[in-house]
Structure 1
């Protein structure tokens, strides 16, 4: 029995087209919903980014302050060491 491939393709294509139309029609949001979601998503991303940047700024400031305190202590110790070295050299 010969198989007619053109009939099979036509049936498959017509059923595929009808399912695509149904899916596309069902998944299309209304324009107002799309605009609201886009604005909300953009706003949330911007807010989250600003929160993250703010947190990082606070952490960076704390680290910088700690570094400066240690740098000052280190400088003071180096100065004191230099003074003590000079005194001990003079005593020899």
Structure 2
């Protein structure tokens, strides 16, 4: 019987995209792209949190941090776009 697969990748992808979105927003280079990246990061983080809740992912903290980071990136995007 094969070992069950884990979905730890979802939290890692959410964290990487959250960092990328925050960097895009802070540098104001591609802030309009950063908002879409932060939406995808929030979606992937939510997927990672749901997989951790179900038990198919072993990392619970990483998607939570990724969700906070993508929410911060969304807030920074709103501030940058209003300036």
- State if a TM-score over 0.5 links the two structures: no
TM-score by length of 1: 0.29
Greater RCO (Cα-Cα under 8 Å, separation 6 or more): 2
More helix by share: 1
Q: TM-score, normalised by structure 2?
A: 0.31
Asked which structure has the greater CA Rg, the reply is 1
